[in-house]
Structure 1
Amino acid sequence: MRPCPLCTDAARLFHRAERDYYRCPSCALVHVPPDQHLSTPDEKAVYDQHQNAVDDPGYRRFLARVADPLMATVPPPAQLLDFGCGHGPALAAMFREAGYRTAVYDPFYYPDPAPLRERYELVTATEVVEHLAEPAAELDGLWGCLRPGGWLGIMTKRQPPAEAFPTWHYLRDPTHVAFYAEATFHWLARRWGAQLYLPRSDVALLHRPAGAASP
């Protein structure tokens, strides 16, 4: 058993292949143990190969899965933080073009931590949370960036049924180290006192009520 990096409960071995995958009985997160993560230079080398251009129509349609429900809920000129935006911050560009005030942060490409000290009506993390080695601290930090009444939009594939897990395409990316179930997002909502909405199979929206406390 290994401690879950999200809730610290004892996670049990769930699947073994090129890497080991441990599943937490409390929050349902599946994680790869830290000693099997890529080194920082090797991780960045994988990200450098991504072809996510800001003006790519297909990529923008993909990002619209999380952008559309957020824009329909919170109108401009609200402030947004695009966390883990990568070297082509297309989502931030989409919001900026729609009249939102946007900031970006990425540990490799936009590493200035100043935006993380501000507060926002909207925070997005698209195809990011599966890369987090320390999801408890990093997700709590994002929640702390929200103003009361704000929204956190997360895009990540949710775990398939157990029998399909060994062949799940998400496992083929060596930078993916944390895998979330629907139950994981319900656990986060309880932790934060958040209202949870799951409009798509790969989108989770968490609303911070005005009276919600910081974790």
Structure 2
Amino acid sequence: MKAITFFFFSALIFTFPMTCPLCQSPHASHYHTDKKRDYFQCSRCELVYVGPAYLPSKEREKLEYDLHENSFEDVGYRKFLRKVLTPLTPYIDAHEPGTLKGLDFGCGPAPVLAAMLTEQGLQMSTYDPFYANTSDALSHTYNIVTCTEAIEHFHAPHKEWALLNSLLASKGILAIMTKRVLDKARFENWHYKNDITHVSFFSEATFRFLGQRDGLDVAFPADDVVLLKKI
């Protein structure tokens, strides 16, 4: 990613990324600066993102992810995941049990959502670059691909989005759960941006852009949930 350094009269100095990491547009603007990072927004797809200098190393990422304590027995976590499972239920119920194939992309060390979808009759596979890095899972297409609390960690979202799109079968559904950017004023005090592993921030406008560009019907059935169906 090309970058250029800007110097401001306020003595702030930061490196301005020249290319959007999602849509590859060369047009972006400074969005916000806090004590730790600078944030930018693409003028085309409206992704908000941090500059390359703020992308954590894989080792640092892994340390953060290992702190997560999600488990199959955690009733609260299962309730949290039902937020994305519930809007998928009508699509699942319209098919015979065992006929749909699903992938939990970014499943983490405890693939609870995959287990819940298996209970719903899906043939589930899992993939995670840290905990389930198996290339075989990426060599198939799926009727349902889930990506919960993972897309905000994407360092090169143009590549990772293309991969997600390629994994989706015709008429398949990509179900994403991530907190969305609402506006600049609320972003300034948004706790979600304070996690150093959160580096790509999507909004409704970003998902609508991707849907129009890539031939996907877009729906927002719940806060933090978006369903994208391949046309």
| TM value normalised by structure 1 | 0.94
- 1:119 CA drift (Å): 0.8
Other-structure match for 1:22:
40
CA distance in 2, matches of 1:69, 1:199: 7
CA distance in 1, matches of 2:178, 2:127: 18
- 1:74 CA drift (Å): 2.6
Q: Does 1:36 align with 2:36?
A: no
Matches for 1:82-121 after TM superposition, within 5 Å: 82-121=104-143
- 1:38 CA drift (Å): 1.0
Q: Which amino acid aligns with 1:114?
A: D
- SS of corresponding position for 1:160: coil
Q: Does 1:189 align with 2:211?
A: yes
Other-structure match for 1:8:
24
- Runs of 4 or more above 4 Å deviation: none
Q: Give unmatched runs, 5+ long, in structure 2.
A: 1-15
Other-structure match for 2:172:
150
Q: Does 1:52 align with 2:74?
A: no
CA distance in 2, matches of 1:86, 1:111: 10
| TM value normalised by structure 2 | 0.88
Other-structure match for 1:170:
192
Other-structure match for 2:6:
none
Larger Rg: 2
Contact 2:92–2:120 (Cα < 8 Å) also in 1 = no
Per mean C-alpha deviation after superposition, the further-off stretch among 118-127 and 2-11 is: 2-11
- 1:69 CA drift (Å): 1.1
- 1:68 CA drift (Å): 1.3
- SS of corresponding position for 2:117: helix
Contact 1:55–1:90 (Cα < 8 Å) also in 2 = no
Q: Give unmatched runs, 5+ long, in structure 1.
A: 210-215
Q: Does 1:80 align with 2:102?
A: yes
What's the % identity of the aligned pairs?
43
Other-structure match for 1:212:
none
